[in-house]
Amino acid sequence: MIEPGMCVEDLPTPCLLVDVDRMHHNIHAWQHAITTAGADLRPHVKTHKVPVLAQMQMAAGATGITVAKVAEAEVFAAGGCRDIFIAYPIIGPDKWRRAAELAREIQLIVGVESDVGAVGLSAAATVAGVRLPVRVEVDLGLARSGVQPAATATLCEQILSLPGLDLEGIFTFRSVGYPGGINRTATDIAREEGERMSELAESLRGAGIPIRSVSAGSTPTARNVALAPGITEVRPGTYIFGDYMLAQRGTISYEDIALSILCTVISRPDSTTATVDGGSKTFCGDVVPTGELKGYARAVSMDAYLERMSEEHGVVRLPAGADPRIGDRIAFHPIHVCTTVNLADELIGIRGEQVVEVWPTLARGKRT
């Protein structure tokens, strides 16, 4: 059992380490930047999945939190979070019922992008005897969910006509990975995202549709989206920990990455590679390394990369001159921290070489 006071060198591997000082710096620096820009910060807690860390973000000034699934909202509500936005289409009678029942206990906002979702939520809210605030999701080019801007007014008007629902605003998620985003700067993409959402909100208001919140932004774009007049809220998530992908692409610095995966070398297949005790059950594989991303993770202390992996084995490409021995330990920054955390039972908070906190990842695996 891992407990505060233990030395990092005594921890069993693989394990996820969080530099608590870097994490606190990220929480407060981003909160200050977004507040100064004039928007609210509602962090997406899919990154850490820990209610205690969400409480830290809110204590720093966040107005609430963002989740992707009803089950995540239930976990964070039980952990003391009282203002939650489910930024995801809720489809299905069980999920509509659970969302409406949760709205009896906390301030809950739910994303909608179809008439099916709106009608289902309306029926569930009516049965539960609640008024459920909803936001309409707008697709600005990512093409995974959301209505087209031109169709937003129609869905908003339908929501206004349905019992049990209150139209609260509009939201989007585009980030920088959408088709057409290649070779554009994150600053330019963010500026356009903010302007398009603000213009859409004004158009809807001009048509007599009340829009209170205009929510957008991701970690690569949030700071600049927040500067756009009319944007009321941004929803970055990864900023609390950072990862290899964000640092390599210049969104954050490597010095700001707060989470690493500590592994042990278990084999040396040849002079240029080492095998560690973390594979696809430890490191995420949802982002495929290409271009400037040379592997699924980057070593913290040297220019080495997790090049390939199976369930329990990770094969690391070593730089010239590196010669780790079997039993040596190597820490890595994962390519994508959010899905990496979802694979772990706990996060181990460290200061220097000592464990100071252990946080169970209570919302991991919550898919419904």
Q: What is the structure's pLDDT at 175?
A: 85
State the CB neighbour count (10 A cutoff) for residue 28: 14
Integer angstrom CA distances of residue 342 from 33, 74, 298, 334, 337? 28, 17, 19, 12, 9
pLDDT at 253: 97
Average pLDDT in the chain: 97
Q: Is the peptide bond before 14 cis (omega within 30 degrees of 0)?
A: yes
For 193, counting Cβ atoms within 10 Å of its Cβ (0-12 exposed, 13-18 middle, 19+ buried), the class is buried
For the cut 80, the answer to whether the pLDDT of residue 94 exceeds it is yes
Amino acid 189: pLDDT: 87
Nearest CA to 277 out of 19, 18, 12 is that of 12
Q: Which CATH superfamily is domain 21-240 in?
A: Alanine racemase (3.20.20.10)
The CA distance from 74 to 225, in Å, is: 29
321-366 pLDDT per residue, tens = 999 999 999 999 999 999 999 999 999 999 999 999 999 999 999 9
Helices within the chain (DSSP H only): 20-37, 51-59, 70-78, 93-102, 115-128, 152-161, 186-206, 222-225, 244-248, 337-341
Length of the chain: 368
Residue 205 pLDDT: 98
Q: What CATH topology corresponds to 8-14+251-360?
A: Lyase, Ornithine Decarboxylase; Chain A, domain 1 (2.40.37)
Amino acid 183: pLDDT: 78
**DSSP notation for 172-232:** ----S-STT-TT--HHHHHHHHHHHHHHHHHHHHHTT----EEEE--TTTHHHHTTSTT--
* HSE, side-chain direction, 13 A CA sphere, residue 235: 23
CB 279 within 8 A of CB 313: yes
> What pLDDT sits at residue 88?
98
Encoding tokens for residue 124? 């569930």
Domains 8-14+251-360 and 21-240 share a fold: no
Using the predicted structure, report yes or no on whether residue 95 has a pLDDT greater than 90: yes
Res. 182: pLDDT tops 90: no
How confident is the model over 191-238, as pLDDT tens digits? Answer: 999 999 999 999 999 999 999 999 999 999 999 999 999 999 999 999
Q: What are the pLDDT digits (tens) for 41-67?
A: 999 999 999 999 999 999 999 999 999
Indicate the domain borders of the chain: 8-14+251-360, 21-240
Q: What is the model's pLDDT at position 286?
A: 92
The pLDDT value recorded for residue 333 is: 98
Cα distances (Å, whole numbers) of residue 318 to 92, 245, 252, 333: 49, 19, 25, 15
Instruction: Tell me which amino acid residue 331 is.
Output: A
Over residues 281-331, the pLDDT tens digits come to 999 999 999 989 999 999 999 999 999 999 999 999 999 999 999 999 999
